[in-house]
Each structure stands twice: as structure tokens, then as C-alpha cells.
């Protein structure tokens, strides 16, 4: 029976159940598909309440993406017409 997830133990069980369902060949519109959708919504609700993720600033997002790509701020400057543009953008503090 599906119910609101209130504890970490219930959360872990829901994750295990979702994983188990994902391993099956589920047909869209089936009872299993509906169950997976409901479990996913319950997991999402629990995570939003217990593990909130604050949105990053645009500057932090740019720096993070540069890091993911293995690029430097110097390489970013090649994308700007004026070299000081990238320094100005990346030095702006989030208010």
C-alpha cells in the first residue's frame, strides 16, 4: 500500500521499490507504471521537504559548467569580445 513517506526508513524502502520497478519491462498505462509514478511523486515530496536544494546563482552555474568541461576562465574569455567582460561577469557577487 502506498502512503506518504515520513521517515528515512520509509524513504529507503520507497527507493528500493522504485529501483525494483525500473528493472522490469513496464508497459505504459499498466498498474506497475501507475505504481512507479506514484512512488516517484512520494519520493520527490519527501526529498523536497528533507533535502532541499537551493538554486545556484548564474555565476556559480557558469563556473560549475566550466569545471565540468575542464575549461578555465581564460578559455571563457575567448567567447567574449572584450577580455574584461568575463572577469567582470565572474567577479560579480551574488546579492
More reliable by pLDDT, 63 or 86: 63
Q: Where are the domains of the chain?
A: 8-50, 58-91
Q: Is 52's pLDDT higher than 80?
A: yes
Judge whether 38 and 3 are in contact, CB under 8 Å: no
**Distance in angstroms (rounded) separating the CA atoms of residues 79 and 95:** 25
Average pLDDT of the chain to the nearest whole number? 86
pLDDT on residue 86: 58
pLDDT on residue 91: 67
**pTM summary value:** 0.60
More reliable by pLDDT, 26 or 93: 26
**Distance in angstroms (rounded) separating the CA atoms of residues 49 and 43:** 10
pLDDT on residue 65: 87
Amino acid at each position: 500500500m502506498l502512503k506518504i513517506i515520513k521517515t528515512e526508513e520509509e524513504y529507503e524502502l520507497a527507493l528500493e521499490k522504485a529501483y525494483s520497478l525500473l528493472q522490469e519491462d513496464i508497459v505504459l498505462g499498466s498498474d506497475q507504471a501507475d505504481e512507479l509514478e506514484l512512488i516517484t511523486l512520494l519520493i520527490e515530496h519527501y526529498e523536497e521537504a528533507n533535502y532541499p536544494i537551493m538554486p545556484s546563482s548564474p555565476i556559480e552555474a557558469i563556473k560549475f559548467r566550466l569545471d565540468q568541461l575542464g575549461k578555465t576562465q581564460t578559455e571563457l574569455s575567448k567567447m567574449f569580445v572584450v577580455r574584461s567582460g568575463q572577469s567582470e561577469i565572474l567577479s560579480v557577487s551574488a546579492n
